[in-house]
């Protein structure tokens, strides 16, 4: 059991909820996966553990309420990502319109500017912002290269 999971067990139990094997397995999937996952993705990864989809949704809703994870809505699909141990709690997402990949933009300068915008809005509007989502959509580098390759093949024919 890793340090992060031990800490999350304490967060769950201190909130008055049971720490169950199912909850821990769901958290392990989220912690150990660098991609954004839907509830169905998590279900597919845990299918052999006999965890039902309803249990996954209940657990995800609890984790959101405890600020352990956050929801990211992309094209009417809900994805989940870690919030509590995130290196970049405020970051920008990119979705490739060709392959469907969701990519976190982890450029330090861009994220600093993003956080600066959030702080400026808080200051000028007297808000407290605890979450934010920016989504860019387009074609990722890999698909762009595939398109170039296909275009080149068509020219060669």
Every domain of the chain and the residues it spans: 3-84, 90-154
Cα–Cα distance measured from residue 131 to residue 90, given in angstroms and rounded to the nearest whole number: 7
29 is in an annotated binding site: no
99 is in an annotated binding site: yes
Q: Partners of 74 in the beta sheet?
A: 77
Cα–Cα distance measured from residue 20 to residue 99, given in angstroms and rounded to the nearest whole number: 36
What would you report as the CA-atom Rg of the chain, rounded to the nearest whole angstrom? 19
Supply the pLDDT for residue 86: 64
75 is in an annotated binding site: no
Supply the pLDDT for residue 141: 93
Query: Domain 90-154: what homologous superfamily?
Result: Ferric-uptake regulator, C-terminal dimerisarion domain (3.30.1490.190)
Supply the pLDDT for residue 1: 46
Q: Which CATH architecture has domain 3-84?
A: Orthogonal Bundle (1.10)
Supply the pLDDT for residue 34: 77
How far does Cα 124 stand from its chain's mean position? 29
pLDDT tens column, 31-60 = 998 788 999 999 999 999 999 999 999 999
Which residues in the chain land under pLDDT 70? 1-3, 85-90, 155-157
Host H or E run for residue 73? strand 69-74
Supply the pLDDT for residue 157: 65
Cα–Cα distance measured from residue 25 to residue 53, given in angstroms and rounded to the nearest whole number: 13
**Equal CATH topology for 3-84 and 90-154:** no
């Amino acid at each position: 059991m890793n340090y992060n999971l031990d800490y999350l067990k304490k967060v769950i139990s201190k909130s008055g909820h049971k720490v169950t094997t199912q909850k821990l397995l769901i958290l392990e999937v989220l912690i150990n996966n660098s991609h954004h996952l839907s509830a169905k993705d998590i279900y597919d990864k845990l299918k052999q553990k006999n965890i039902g989809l309803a249990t996954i949704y209940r657990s995800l809703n609890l984790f959101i309420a405890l600020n352990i994870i956050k929801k990211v809505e992309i094209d009417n699909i809900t994805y989940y990502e870690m919030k509590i141990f995130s290196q970049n709690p405020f970051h920008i997402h990119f979705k490739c319109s060709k392959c469907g990949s969701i990519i976190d933009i982890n450029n330090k300068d861009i994220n600093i500017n993003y956080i600066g915008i959030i702080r400026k809005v808080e200051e000028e509007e007297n808000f407290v912002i605890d979450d934010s989502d920016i989504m860019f959509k387009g074609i990722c580098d890999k698909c762009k290269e595939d398109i170039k390759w296909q275009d080149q093949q068509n020219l060669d024919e």
